[in-house]
Amino acid sequence: MESLKRTTEGATPPLRRRCNLRRPWLIAILISVIIVVIIVIVVPLAVILPKKHHHKVKAAKVLFPVYIYPETNTTWDPLYEAITTHPELDFIVIVNPSSGPGSSPPSTQYQVAVKRLSTYSNVQKVGYIPTNYADRNITEVLEAVATYSNWTSESSTLSMDGIFFDEIPYDWNSTKSEYLTQINEAVKNSSGIASPQLIIHNPGTIPDSRYNDTTTDITVVFEQSYSYYETQVNALEDLSTSRRGNYSYMLHSMPTMSNHTLKNFIDDLSDRAEYLFLTTLEANYYEKFDPKLEVFCDMVPTTE
């Protein structure tokens, strides 16, 4: 190392003097060589090397649908375990007693489960409500919001921190748009829904850009299989990364991949969407716990 460095240093001054003073054509050759080197080596490398090598991985959170009845105190153990073994990872748990809130107050078993979720500082809870693509009688939707809100009168440890509206239309019409504005307003009006009163919409795909109600915090812009994701990735990449905090991706039927490949894949998703859910399950994705839940949680980036 040392001797090589000295030799190079020793050779430099005479070469530079000759170039500058006596052989100007050498400069031309040198410049040509540099240009060729840039074209042949640097340009292809810049194209080949993935973008993520140029900036830091962004932190993400888990948006976790748990459509599983907590029949016993241990039914949700895989969820509690994921939460406690990843204290630095934030979870938004979607609570869904009965394709909606069911009764108020909820059953004893649901109360035990929801109260336990309230003991974790890295968990927020949102109540599930379907809208049938804005075709469901809106009175029923507003009643469902009121029912979740009323859980708080039983106990503040049963409070939801927001609402997850499922089956949201992606195609725009003014009637549907007004419907969505109203259901969002109902959440913001509900004193029993705790701050930050998160409003999550799930069209499952990129919605029409005219759905721009600023009270919607998070939109699930992809909810489909891994293989379908591969056909949609270009459109998803076109969404502004500056709005990643408003986007969620939910992927099911994840294939087996090496840890390295999976980690790179999740980092890439996280670059464009802050709220993620991945499962290897290929049916009833949210009604069972994925045997690979722990691996997924291990890989979600948690530091900026």
Which residues of this chain interact with ligand NAG, rule CB under 6 A?
Answer: 73, 104-105, 112, 134-135, 137, 139, 150, 153-154, 173, 175-176, 182, 185-186, 189, 210, 212, 214, 216-217, 245-246, 259, 295, 298
Give the separation between CA 232 and CA 253, rounded to whole angstroms.
15
- Residue 214 or 303: the one with the smaller Cβ distance to ligand NAG is 214
Which of residues 96 and 216 has its CB atom nearest to ligand NAG in the complex? 216
Cβ 290 to ligand NAG shortest distance, Å? 13
Contacts for 119 with CB less than 8 Å, ≥ 6 apart: none
Closest approach, Cβ 6 to ligand NAG, in A, equals: 45
Q: Per-residue DSSP letters for 205-230?
A: SPPPTT---TT--EEEEEEEEHHHHH
Q: Which is nearer to ligand NAG, 112 or 281 (CB)?
A: 112
User: How far apart are the C-alpha atoms of 82 and 216, rounded to whole Å?
Assistant: 27
Complex with ligand NAG: residue 185 or 268, whichever CB lies closer: 185
Least Cα distance to 252 among 232, 226, 221 occurs for 226
Residue 93 or residue 186: which is nearer to ligand NAG going by CB? 186
Contact assessment for residue 270 and residue 61, using Cβ atoms and an 8 Å cutoff:
no
Considering the complex, state which of residue 167 and residue 228 has its C-beta at the smaller distance from ligand NAG.
167
Amino acid at 2: E
Question: In this complex, which beta carbon is closest to ligand NAG, that of residue 19 or of residue 154?
Answer: 154
Minimum CB distance to ligand NAG, residue 36 (Å): 43
The contacts of residue 277 (CB under 8 Å, 6+ apart) are: 62, 63, 64, 65, 248, 249, 250, 251
Report the length, in residues, of the chain. 304
Beta bridge partners of 134: none
User: What's the closest the beta carbon of residue 145 comes to ligand NAG, in angstroms?
Assistant: 8
How far the first Cα of the chain sits from its last, in Å, is 37
For the bound state, the minimum distance from the C-beta of residue 52 to ligand NAG, rounded and expressed in Å, comes to 19
Residue 139 Cβ, how far from ligand NAG at the closest point, in Å?
A: 4
| Closest approach of ligand NAG to the CB of residue 234, in Å | 22
Measured from the CB of residue 53, what is the shortest distance to ligand NAG in angstroms?
A: 22
As a whole number of angstroms, the distance between CA 29 and CA 44 comes to 22
* Beta-carbon contacts of residue 262 (< 8 Å; ≥ 6 apart): 295, 299
CA separation for the pair 303, 60 (Å, rounded): 8
The residue among 167 and 185 lying less far from ligand NAG, judged by its C-beta, is 185
